[in-house]
Amino acid sequence: MGGDLVVLATKKIYNSFTLIYIIVEDAAGNVWFGTERGLTKYVPSASLRAGSASFINFTEKDGLVNNDVWSIVIDSKGIIWIGTLQGASRFNGEVFTPFDLPEAEPDTNRGVTSSRLVHSIMEDSHGKIWFGTNGGAYIYDASLPGGQGGALTNISTKDGLPDNNVNDILEDKDGNIWFATHYKGVCYWDGTSFTKMPTKERDSGTEVWSLYEDNSGSIWFPIEGFGVYRFDGESLTNFHEKDGLASGAIQCIFEDREGRLWLGGWMGLFRYDSPASPRTAGKSFFSVTKYGPWQ
């Protein structure tokens, strides 16, 4: 999608979802929203045709395994994988198919007691699909024989993963697999062993909700109450209030085409400028309001 996008929708459309967990764009420019009321598809071209709907909502009535959608990935074959509060589904554009994952121990401390919750889904460079769950990470390999059209294996604490509650998974440019966990911070797996990031922790757990790799190959991740960390392959840097980051609860990170990082979380939106930028004036992060700064 390019340029400015202005969406005019009726109250009925807005009422179809009030909480959005994830937004993904497909190859055709359609935008998919994971909400607490199902999977919603926005078709930009549809808004130009009189009488046609801009939004299409899919729910359990259409075959979705559960209406509470936490994660979405569109794989290299165009299949849409949907992670929900009660398991996963596959969507080929016409039919939803349940994708069975083993049931995990429910985590009552998190306020979400589902033992089938799929926090995140990721396709790696080999076409394998990774699922982040309360039972560790599951890897689906369609090139190997097994049920559901491929083999399913599990990585958990028994294999060296620090925590089974996996919130996010990322493959970096070198092929390492990174895990953001809910209680034990961040680690990466090089295919043989795990390496844990030496971050600040607290007794109640070290919540990490997301992982992001920027264009330089640095890995960014927020830790609840401790700001944001950046790992450049050699050193780990922590950014917090002293750097202009007013929120200690960041949940998402994105890099734009100009190399600027945008961080969203509690207390709003923040923009990161490199210390080398003339705009920094002694700090790296700037709070963004409806008035900017946008430049």
Q: Are 244 and 150 contained in the same domain?
A: yes
Q: Are 198 and 282 contained in the same domain?
A: yes
Q: Are 141 and 147 in contact (CB under 8 A)?
A: no
Q: Are 75 and 81 in contact (CB under 8 A)?
A: yes
Mean pLDDT in consecutive groups of 10 residues from the start of the chain, 295 residues: 47 63 93 95 68 81 97 97 97 97 84 84 98 97 90 96 96 98 94 91 77 96 90 92 80 89 85 64 70 60
pTM of the model: 0.87
Q: Are 147 and 278 contained in the same domain?
A: yes
- At 149, which CATH number? 2.130.10.10
> Which one-letter amino acid corresponds to residue 59?
T
Query: Which pLDDT belongs to residue 203?
Result: 59
Query: Which pLDDT belongs to residue 109?
Result: 78
Q: Are 161 and 270 contained in the same domain?
A: yes
Q: Are 80 and 109 contained in the same domain?
A: no
Q: Are 87 and 108 contained in the same domain?
A: no
Q: Are 88 and 109 contained in the same domain?
A: no
Nearest to 116 by CA among 125, 130, 105: 105
Torsion-angle region of 231 (φ positive above 0: left; ψ -120 to 50: alpha; else: beta): beta
Contacts of 67 (CB under 8 A, 6+ apart): 36, 37, 38, 59, 60, 84
Query: Which pLDDT belongs to residue 13?
Result: 54
Neighbouring-strand partners of residue 252: 264
Instruction: Name the strand (E) or helix (H) holding 13.
Output: helix 11-15
The position carrying tokens 């709003």 is 268
- At 63, which CATH number? 2.40.10
Q: Are 172 and 191 contained in the same domain?
A: yes
Q: For residues 284 and 17, what is the distance between their CA atoms, to the nearest angstrom?
A: 35
Instruction: Name the strand (E) or helix (H) holding 11.
Output: helix 11-15
Q: Is 254 strand, coil or helix?
A: strand
Q: Are 259 and 176 contained in the same domain?
A: yes
Q: Are 57 and 141 contained in the same domain?
A: no
Query: Which pLDDT belongs to residue 58?
Result: 97
Q: Are strands 136-141 and 228-231 parallel, antiparallel or unpaired?
A: unpaired
| Domain total in the chain | 2
Q: Are 293 and 201 contained in the same domain?
A: yes
Range of the domain at 148: 103-113+122-295
Query: Which pLDDT belongs to residue 278?
Result: 45
Q: Are 88 and 146 contained in the same domain?
A: no
Q: For residues 196 and 185, what is the distance between their CA atoms, to the nearest angstrom?
A: 8
Query: Which pLDDT belongs to residue 258?
Result: 85
Q: Is 192 strand, coil or helix?
A: coil
